[in-house]
Amino acid sequence: MEKMKKIKRISRSSFNRLPDEIVLEILSKLTDLKTLCICRLVSRRFFFIVVKIDAISYTAPLVNPSYLDLDITGNGGFTKKLFWYFINGVFLKPLNLLCSMLTAGSNASRPPVVPIYGQSFVSALWSLMRFRGLKYLSIELPDSGHQGVDDRSLFKWMVRFGTRLESYVFLWPNSVCDSNGLHVNGNGDGVGGEEEGIALRMKKVNVGIKCVMDVLVRRRMLLGLVCNFPLLERVCITDSGKRGRVSLSGGEVGKVRDWLFSSSETPVGRMNIMDFPGSTSEYHVPILHLPVSGFVMKGITLVVVDRGNLEGGNDSFVNEDEDGFGDEMEAVYSEAVMEILKSQRGRLF
């Protein structure tokens, strides 16, 4: 009986060649870049079927992003004055540094990446370049590992951009409780609610600024992807800690692509424009009751960098960017941003 079964299986395998349709159908359900690259090795036929895949996701391995070595805060204490100086003036220095890393040796055939996430990441992106017909792409980067940040840090950021960066919002509550008073994310260590020290505030704002680096790197990466994949319809770059994401989809992708290719400049030249919004506000709110979700946040730090258009009654901001926070807490964080802007509007620190 056992033998019969074996013979049958062998005869099946020698007579039946899997049709291309089935191979493509199976492979297109794999989506993971690594698995797909292994499949490209299976045989010559597979090699040519695999590149027809149009939806891919890639999770970068854990590495320490190397740009964190840049000392962007200086050695001295991080006072409020220094903060402003930093944001509006000195900000350009690390940006230029970053810019040079992003653009080193730019040419059109280069993969749309930066060497920040390690050699393996660069190789992976090179492999990705083979999939010319790509329509849907999602990349998950490792947590940025900013100093002073751990799993219990509850911050998220949100960025809005099309052809230029419109706004950046960073929200870090010390604690978040749902309507039943239960702590979310296990952060029940009682830091929240207390009048927080200036050191803690500064630390939070500092992280908020470091996350701007994440945003810039990711946006540059994303522009590179839009430039290199002519059929791309949806692209999203997230991180393993779900801190924030940059994404483009639908008509936005087309608009950005047109913009990249529509000038006498090279697309790379356009990508490298770091046109960062100039208006920065910082808010600290000890306690916030959210009327819609019923959540309560304590010890909130909010940093808003924009073009001055978030103030003055632009309530549609959060709705327009409804996929900004990208997980189940999205609505809660968005609501908090909206509430704070509503009540604190015009009260700059």
* Interaction between residue 3 and another protein (CB under 8 A): no
Q: What's the CA gap between 299 and 163, in Å, rounded?
A: 34
Question: What DSSP string describes 162-214?
Answer: SSSEEEEEEEE-SEEE-TTSPBGGG--SS-TTS---HHHHHHHHHHHHHHHHH
Assign 114 to helix, strand or coil.
coil
User: Whole-number minimum distance, CB 218 to another protein, in Å?
Assistant: 20
Nearest Cα neighbor of 289 from 251, 243, 343, 247 is 343
Span interacting with another protein, options 18-26, 68-76, 222-230, 267-275, rule CB under 8 A: 18-26
Among 27, 222, 260, 296, binds another protein (CB under 8 A): 27
Q: Say how many C-beta atoms besides its own lie within 10 A of residue 119's C-beta.
A: 9
Residue 27's H or E segment, with its range, is: helix 20-28
* Interaction between residue 76 and another protein (CB under 8 A): no
Closer residue to another protein in complex, CB, 45/80:
45
Q: Say how many C-beta atoms besides its own lie within 10 A of residue 42's C-beta.
A: 13
Query: Longest Cα pair distance anywhere in the chain, in angstroms?
Result: 83
Closer residue to another protein in complex, CB, 21/195:
21
Which residues fall within 8 angstroms of residue 54, CB to CB, at 6 or more apart?
A: 28, 131, 133, 134, 135, 136, 231
Number of residues that bind another protein (CB under 8 A): 36
* Interaction between residue 170 and another protein (CB under 8 A): no
Closer residue to another protein in complex, CB, 26/97:
26
Among 84, 126, 261, 349, binds another protein (CB under 8 A): 126
Q: What's the CA gap between 216 and 193, in Å, rounded?
A: 33
User: Whole-number minimum distance, CB 44 to another protein, in Å?
Assistant: 5
* Interaction between residue 132 and another protein (CB under 8 A): no
Among 79, 100, 120, 309, binds another protein (CB under 8 A): 120
Span interacting with another protein, options 15-23, 102-110, 214-222, 309-317, rule CB under 8 A: 15-23
User: Quick one: residue 45, left, alpha or beta (phi over 0 = left, psi -120 to 50 = alpha)?
Assistant: alpha
* Interaction between residue 21 and another protein (CB under 8 A): yes
* Interaction between residue 40 and another protein (CB under 8 A): yes
Among 32, 151, 178, 258, binds another protein (CB under 8 A): 32
Assign 137 to helix, strand or coil.
strand
* Interaction between residue 34 and another protein (CB under 8 A): yes
Residue 235 bridge partners (DSSP): 137, 248
* Interaction between residue 44 and another protein (CB under 8 A): yes
Span interacting with another protein, options 43-51, 146-154, 240-248, 255-263, rule CB under 8 A: 43-51
Among 3, 41, 250, 313, binds another protein (CB under 8 A): 41
| Binding-site ranges for another protein (CB under 8 A) | 9, 12-13, 16-19, 21-23, 25-27, 29-30, 32-35, 37-47, 119-120, 123-124, 126-127
